Structure 1
Amino acid sequence: MITYNPKEWFSFIFRFHKGDTFRKLLPIMLGIAAYSFIIAYLELEYWQLSELSHVKNITVMHTLLGFVISLLLVFRTNTAYDRWWEGRKAWGALVNNSRNLAIKVAVMIKAKEDKEIFRKLIPAYSSVLNLHLKNADISHELFEDAILAADHYKHKPNQIAKTIIAKVNELYEQGKITGDQLIVLNAEIQSLTDICGICERIKNTPIPYSYSAFIKKFIFIYVMTLPFGYVFMLGYLVIPVVTIIFYVLASLELIAEEIEDPFGYDPNDLPTAKLAEMIQKNVEELIY
């Protein structure tokens, strides 16, 4: 995730980060500029269309559809941001619940060897969940004396949650914790699985294909028809104008595509790896 100072907004104008849409759209923008030049040349120089040509009236279509396309893009961006923010709230809850679980384990469990197991298992859940959401390869070795079985388990976060539950239940059967303490710890562990489900729902349920495809086609048709009408009013200035309009519209769609799945490796995705490291530090400070 890109870290920045939102108060230094003026510097953003002249700085192009690798996550900026300008770099990604630059080849297409050059193509749009060349296309606009060809249309302007044909209408002004080759065909020499007059001001009375009906082609000039195409701008009426853009005036009518401009409001529609703005509504679609606003809805698209808001929907994508809601998914990004929901993912951030889920990981915020994971941080808090991991701390709460660690605090209760530190107080309720007395044996040092039992504490040491939870000291490794609790942060391991967030680390594995981070890799799980990125579809990354997860090592089968959880730590020195515990193995994640590759063949039996495909869902690694579930396996760690099961291991934690099994250990808590073992402590109860051994009389090291009471029934009330078992209920309290189980509730905290269940919350970890609930958070995993929220993140998987965001990741595995993208924006419907028809909706996303329609917006892209709409933007393409809208921009491709702009030079035909506006060349009569702007002349060759239609080239930078159409290019800028395309940059604005396409950037909004590109930003929405990037943030609707906040668990990847894109510059604007959530810093889940850093959050997992923070959870590990907090748990190791609490359980000792």
Structure 2
Amino acid sequence: MIVHPQPNLLNVLITLKGSIARRVVRRTLMVSVLASLIVLVETLHPAFYSRVNATPFTLLGLSLSIFMSFRNNACYDRWWEGRKAWGQVVIEIRSFVRASAVIADPQQRRQLLQGLCGFAHALNARLRGGDEYKAAAAWVADAASLPQHNLSDGILQALGARISRLAQYQQISEWRYVNLEQRLTGLSQAQAACERIKNTPLPFPYTLLLHRTIFLFCVLLPFAMAEPLGWLAPLFTAIVSYTFFGLDAISNELEDPFGRDENDLPLDAIVRTVERDVLAALGSTELPPALQPIDHILS
């Protein structure tokens, strides 16, 4: 995720970190070069150039703007829902840590809280296509015996069984057991929300139609701009193309908020926050440092 101070006017013009310009510069330059060629043909051979009415492009551009706004809003909603799901993970783990203070056996409590760290690491790896077992092994001693197809859920099941035994042997009250179980249910709901976002992209035909229409609009736009704008046409078509291509690229990036693109969610930093909270609750005095942005990027 980009962590950048509010840019001033100069930074707005020259900042590349976090900008979508690098991803769309080739297509934008292609449209600008095409516009230059069309203006050149119109200048040298005006008889061979038939003027194109700009009205259809105005209507098409307006329609595209509406459709792109809908898609961008849908993609941002996915990004924000993913952030809320991970916010719920942090809330439920902190609540579990606080409620578990009544457990008299320090070893039992340590294993429970370390399991929560293992869950956070495993879920992070699951959403980013990593190795869940490798991510959680340092925190969950019996990770190898848990279901490997969904280790995150397996850890929650193991934690649920552990607190059930504590209640069975009357090491915690029934009310406290219900409270801890509710925290695990909240973590399971957050995991399901993340998996729903990860495994259910926006309908492909809609996305493909929008990609194609944007490309055709930007390629055909110079034909309408050449005659009224002359040699300003390459500049204006480049600006319009940059806007349309850029919005399209941004929506693609936000559609999957759990990746490692610059604008994706900082899952590593969130997991580190969970680590620090759990270790502090266990009395550790040497906490791992909170992750800081590297070159304005928080992973």
**Which TM-score applies when normalising by structure 1?**
0.92
Deviation of 1:169 after TM superposition, in Å, equals 1.2
Cα deviation 1:186-219 (Å, max 9, x = unaligned): 1111110100000111111111111111111111
Residue 131 of structure 1 is matched in structure 2 by: 125
Tell me, what secondary structure is at the counterpart of 1:48?
A: helix
Matched residue type, 1:139: Y
Q: 1:274 aligns with which of 265, 269, 284?
A: 269
> CA, structure 1 residues 172+150, in 2 after alignment: closer, same or farther (shift >3 Å)?
closer
Residue 90 of structure 1 is matched in structure 2 by: 85
Q: Distance in 1 between matches of 2:169 and 2:40?
A: 86
Residue 5 of structure 1 is matched in structure 2 by: 5
Q: Distance in 1 between matches of 2:222 and 2:47?
A: 15
- Counterparts in 2 of 1:51-200, with a 5 A limit? 53=50, 55-57=51-53, 59-106=54-101, 108-140=102-134, 142-143=137-138, 146-149=141-144, 152-200=147-195
> CA, structure 1 residues 93+152, in 2 after alignment: closer, same or farther (shift >3 Å)?
closer
Is the Cα–Cα contact under 8 Å of residues 83 and 202 in structure 1 kept in the other structure? Answer: yes
Identity %: 28
**Which TM-score applies when normalising by structure 2?**
0.88
Unaligned runs of 5+ in 1: none
RMSD: 1.9
Deviation of 1:49 after TM superposition, in Å, equals 4.3
Deviation of 1:149 after TM superposition, in Å, equals 2.9
Matched residue type, 2:249: L
Residue 34 of structure 1 is matched in structure 2 by: 33
Residue 249 of structure 1 is matched in structure 2 by: 244
Is the Cα–Cα contact under 8 Å of residues 102 and 287 in structure 1 kept in the other structure? Answer: no
Q: Distance in 2 between matches of 1:150 and 1:70?
A: 52
Cα deviation 1:136-190 (Å, max 9, x = unaligned): 1233562377232379421110111011111111212222112222111111111
Q: Distance in 1 between matches of 2:282 and 2:9?
A: 42
Residue 297 of structure 2 is matched in structure 1 by: none
Q: Distance in 1 between matches of 2:268 and 2:146?
A: 26
> CA, structure 1 residues 133+243, in 2 after alignment: closer, same or farther (shift >3 Å)?
same
Across the two proteins, how many residue pairs are aligned to each other?
282
Cα deviation 1:215-237 (Å, max 9, x = unaligned): 11111111111111221111122
Residue 16 of structure 1 is matched in structure 2 by: 16
Tell me, what secondary structure is at the counterpart of 1:143?
A: coil
Tell me, what secondary structure is at the counterpart of 2:137?
A: strand
> Relative contact order (alpha carbons < 8 A, sep ≥ 6): 1 or 2 greater?
1
> CA, structure 1 residues 237+49, in 2 after alignment: closer, same or farther (shift >3 Å)?
farther
> CA, structure 1 residues 209+150, in 2 after alignment: closer, same or farther (shift >3 Å)?
farther
Matched residue type, 1:111: D
Q: Distance in 2 between matches of 1:159 and 1:246?
A: 48
Q: Does 1:204 align with 2:199?
A: yes
Is the Cα–Cα contact under 8 Å of residues 121 and 132 in structure 2 kept in the other structure? Answer: no
Deviation of 1:286 after TM superposition, in Å, equals 2.1
- Counterparts in 2 of 1:197-236, with a 5 A limit? 197-236=192-231
Is the Cα–Cα contact under 8 Å of residues 127 and 277 in structure 1 kept in the other structure? Answer: no
Is the Cα–Cα contact under 8 Å of residues 122 and 133 in structure 2 kept in the other structure? Answer: no
Q: Distance in 2 between matches of 1:230 and 1:144?
A: 62
Q: Distance in 2 between matches of 1:77 and 1:36?
A: 28
Matched residue type, 1:185: L
